[in-house]
C-alpha cells in the first residue's frame, strides 16, 4: 500500500461511536444534553466560588480551575462530534486534526495534574493543619497551577511535533469520535517506534507518577484521620476528601481501561465508548460530585443564583 507524506493529507475521517443511521439522532440529543449540562454545571461552580469571598481558598481555587479545564476539555471534542453528526460529514481537516490532538493532550494532562495538586492540598490540610496557611500560601498554590500549565504545554507540544514527520496510508479512517493519539499511530505507515517510546515514557512520568503521589497523599491522610479521637472529627475529615477521591477513582479507572486496552485486546470501537467516560461523563459529573456533599459550594450557589435573580 502506497503511503503519502502527511503534509499532503487533506483530511481524516472520524467514524464516531456508531455508523448506524438510526442511532445518529439519539447520539446527537444525548451528547448535546451532556455537553450543555457540563458547561452550565462547571460554569456555576466557577461563578459560585468567585462570587463568595469565603471560598477564596486553595481548595476551591483548584476546584474552579478544574471546572474551567473540564469545560475546555469537553469543548474541544463534543462540538465537532455534534457537527459531524448533524451534517453527516465525518471529515476533519489536517489542521483540525493537529489542533485537536494538541489540545486533547494539553487538557488531559492538566486534569491529571490538577487532581494530583488537589490531593496534595488535602494532605497538607489534614496532616499539617497548623502549617496549612504557611505551606499553601497564594504564591505556592498559584505556582502549582502555573507549573501544571507548563508541564501540560510541553507534553502536548512534544507529542504534536512528533506526529508531524509521520506519513499516513490511504486509509485515513479513525474509529473514534476524536483524534486520539493511540489511534493516529496505528494509522501511520512510517516507523512509530520513537512515538511509542515517548508515549510509554510520558505515561510513566505524567500518568503513573501523579497517581503514586495521590496514593501516597491519601495513605497519609487515612493514617491521620484514624488517629482523630472523635467520630465527628473523622467524618468531617473524610467528607473533605470524599468528592475528590470519587473523581480520582472515576478518572484513573477509565483511563486504565482505555489506555491499557492493548493488553486486554479491547476493540477500537469499545475503546471509543469507554473514552466517553473521561471525556464527557466525568466532566459532567464533577459539579454534582463536588456540590452535592459540600455545604459551602451549595451555599455559594444559592447566594449567587438568588443575587442573579434579584438583579433581573
- The confidence score (pLDDT) of residue 110 equals 95
Distance CA 305, CA 302 (A): 5
Q: What percent of the chain has pLDDT over 90?
A: 36
C-alpha cell at 109: 494532562
What is the tens place of the pLDDT at every residue in 27-41? 999 999 999 999 999
Ordered by start, the domain boundaries in the chain are 7-311
Q: Pick the range with the lowest mean pLDDT from 2-6, 30-34, 260-264.
A: 2-6
Burial of 17: CB neighbours in 10 Å, binned 0-12, 13-18, 19+: buried
User: 168: Cβ–Cβ under 8 A, 6 or more apart, which residues?
Assistant: 3, 4, 6, 9, 187, 188, 189
Burial of 83: CB neighbours in 10 Å, binned 0-12, 13-18, 19+: exposed
What is the tens place of the pLDDT at every residue in 148-157? 999 999 999 9
Q: How far out from the chain centre does Cα 308 lie? A: 30
- The confidence score (pLDDT) of residue 290 equals 84
Q: Please choose, from the candidates 64, 58, 61, 104, the residue with its C-alpha nearest in 3D space to the C-alpha of residue 80.
A: 104
- The confidence score (pLDDT) of residue 264 equals 47
What is the tens place of the pLDDT at every residue in 92-129? 888 888 899 999 999 999 999 999 999 999 999 989 98
Distance CA 25, CA 86 (A): 8
Question: Which of 67-71, 277-281, 285-289, 302-306 tops mean pLDDT?
Answer: 67-71
What is the tens place of the pLDDT at every residue in 45-102? 998 888 888 888 888 899 999 999 999 999 999 999 999 898 888 888 888 888 999 9
Number of residues that make up the chain: 312
Q: What's the topology of domain 7-311?
A: Rhopdopsin 7-helix transmembrane proteins (1.20.1070)
pTM: 0.88
Distance CA 157, CA 25 (A): 36
On whether the CB atoms of residues 187 and 172 are closer than 8 A, the answer is yes
On whether the CB atoms of residues 55 and 77 are closer than 8 A, the answer is no
Q: Pick the range with the lowest mean pLDDT from 13-27, 117-131, 224-238.
A: 224-238
- The confidence score (pLDDT) of residue 241 equals 84
Cα angle value 134/215/41 (rounded, 5°): 75
User: 198: Cβ–Cβ under 8 A, 6 or more apart, which residues?
Assistant: 158, 159, 162
Inform me whether the pLDDT recorded for 171 exceeds 90: no
Amino acid at each position: 500500500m502506497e503511503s503519502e507524506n502527511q503534509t499532503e493529507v487533506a483530511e481524516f475521517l472520524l467514524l464516531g461511536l456508531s455508523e448506524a443511521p438510526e442511532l445518529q439522532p439519539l447520539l446527537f440529543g444525548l451528547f448535546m444534553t451532556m455537553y450543555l449540562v457540563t458547561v452550565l454545571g462547571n460554569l456555576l461552580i466557577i461563578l459560585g466560588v468567585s462570587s463568595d469571598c469565603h471560598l477564596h481558598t486553595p481548595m476551591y481555587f483548584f476546584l474552579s480551575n478544574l471546572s474551567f479545564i473540564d469545560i475546555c476539555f469537553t469543548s474541544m471534542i463534543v462540538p465537532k462530534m455534534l457537527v459531524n453528526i448533524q451534517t453527516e460529514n465525518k471529515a476533519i481537516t489536517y489542521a483540525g486534526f493537529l489542533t485537536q490532538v494538541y489540545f486533547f493532550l494539553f487538557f488531559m494532562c492538566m486534569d491529571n495534574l490538577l487532581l494530583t495538586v488537589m490531593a496534595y492540598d488535602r494532605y497538607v490540610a489534614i496532616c499539617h493543619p497548623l502549617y496549612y496557611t504557611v505551606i499553601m500560601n497564594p504564591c505556592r498554590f498559584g505556582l502549582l497551577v502555573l507549573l501544571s500549565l507548563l508541564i501540560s504545554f510541553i507534553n502536548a507540544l512534544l507529542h504534536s511535533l512528533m506526529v508531524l514527520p509521520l506519513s499516513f496510508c490511504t486509509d485515513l479512517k479513525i474509529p473514534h469520535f476524536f483524534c486520539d493519539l493511540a489511534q493516529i499511530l496505528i494509522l501511520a505507515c512510517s516507523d512509530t517506534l520513537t512515538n511509542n517510546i515517548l508515549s510509554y515514557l510520558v505515561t510513566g512520568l505524567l500518568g503513573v507518577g501523579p497517581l503514586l503521589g495521590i496514593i501516597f497523599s491519601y495513605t497519609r491522610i487515612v493514617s491521620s484521620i484514624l488517629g482523630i479521637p472523635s467520630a465527628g472529627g473523622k467524618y468531617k475529615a473524610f467528607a473533605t476528601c470524599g468528592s475528590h477521591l470519587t473523581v480520582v477513582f472515576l478518572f484513573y479507572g477509565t483511563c486504565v481501561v482505555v489506555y491499557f486496552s492493548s493488553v486486554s485486546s479491547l476493540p477500537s470501537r469499545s475503546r471509543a465508548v469507554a473514552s466517553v467516560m473521561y471525556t464527557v461523563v466525568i466532566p459532567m459529573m464533577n459539579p454534582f460530585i463536588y456540590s452535592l456533599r459540600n455545604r459551602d459550594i451549595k451555599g455559594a450557589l444559592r447566594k449567587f443564583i438568588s443575587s442573579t435573580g434579584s438583579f433581573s
